[in-house]
Amino acid sequence: MSIELRRNVTRTVRAGLRYGRRVPAAQRLWHAGVGRVQDSGLARELAARVFDLRLGFGGSVFLHAGKHLVGTRTENLPVVIVLICDATAEAVRTVTEEVAAEQVLSAGFRPVFVLDRPEMAAVRSHGYPVELLVPRDAWDEELFGPWERYLLNRLSTMRTDYSAAAVLPVRGAHLGQDELFVLRTLPA
């Protein structure tokens, strides 16, 4: 864009803003338009993609909060990676239901489940994203090194990709007090 064209555009925009400040109907129209753009999920997603917005501590704009939370501001909630390893299908279902209940009560996070078994039906029924790890017993340590290093590398990558606020390792078939404490103290 040439310098002269940029000056003309700047002058035109400034003149429009001055006009808008003087005319009450233009002010109402401006505020209504801004409100609609702010409430539009499509406009927010488009702006984030075009301008490469980084939300930092809050997560990715494009990660849905599941079926239990709806609204235009849910994409700014912090992301929590829920790690469930060596669990049965029943344990995955129980933990998923407990996380869903906590999410409804707090409306303060978006979970991403990470499993090492293909027990995804319970997680997907709530509309949550799920990642699958290679199980420890199927891992070839001689060829690929320790499974723990693989797990740490995958979790580090996921934490960066999702801009996750926390990684929540779940041991057992229920959320313990420590896990609930982490979920309840996330900044919304």
In a domain, 14, yes or no: yes
pLDDT of residue 70: 76
**In a shared domain, residues 12 and 78:** no
Residue 98: strand, helix, or coil: helix
In a domain, 82, yes or no: yes
**In a shared domain, residues 24 and 106:** no
Burial class (CB in 10 A: 0-12, 13-18, 19+), 80: buried
- Whether residue 107 contacts residue 187, with contact meaning beta carbons closer than 8 Å, is answered with no
**In a shared domain, residues 78 and 31:** no
**In a shared domain, residues 94 and 143:** yes
φ, ψ for residue 94, nearest 5 deg: -65, -50
**In a shared domain, residues 33 and 83:** no
Alpha-helical segments (H) within the chain:
3-22, 24-39, 41-51, 89-106, 121-124, 141-144, 147-162, 177-184
**In a shared domain, residues 18 and 82:** no
pLDDT of residue 7: 76
pLDDT 10s per residue in the chain (188 long)?
567 766 777 787 777 767 766 777 767 776 676 667 666 667 666 666 665 555 555 555 567 778 877 776 777 788 899 999 988 899 999 999 999 999 888 888 899 999 998 889 999 999 999 999 999 989 898 999 999 999 999 999 998 888 888 899 998 888 888 888 888 888 76
Residue 120: strand, helix, or coil: coil
In a domain, 57, yes or no: no
**Which single residue is written with the structure tokens 């849905």?**
64
Give me the sign of the Cα torsion angle 169, 172, 174, 175. negative
**In a shared domain, residues 81 and 172:** yes
Q: Which pTM was predicted? A: 0.69
pLDDT of residue 91: 92
In a domain, 165, yes or no: yes
**Can you read off the two tokens belonging to residue 14?**
């400034």
**In a shared domain, residues 90 and 172:** yes
In a domain, 111, yes or no: yes
pLDDT of residue 113: 94
**Can you read off the two tokens belonging to residue 61?**
């704009």
Query: For the chain, what is the domain count?
Result: 2
In a domain, 123, yes or no: yes
What is the extent of the structural domain holding 102? 74-184
Q: Which of 105, 109, 114 is nearest to 182 (CA)?
A: 109
**Measured distance CA(10)–CA(12) in Å, rounded:** 5
State the amino acid at position 101 in one-letter form.
A
**In a shared domain, residues 79 and 30:** no
In a domain, 64, yes or no: no
CATH number of the CATH domain containing 100: 3.40.50
In a domain, 55, yes or no: no
State the amino acid at position 141 in one-letter form.
E
**Measured distance CA(99)–CA(109) in Å, rounded:** 10
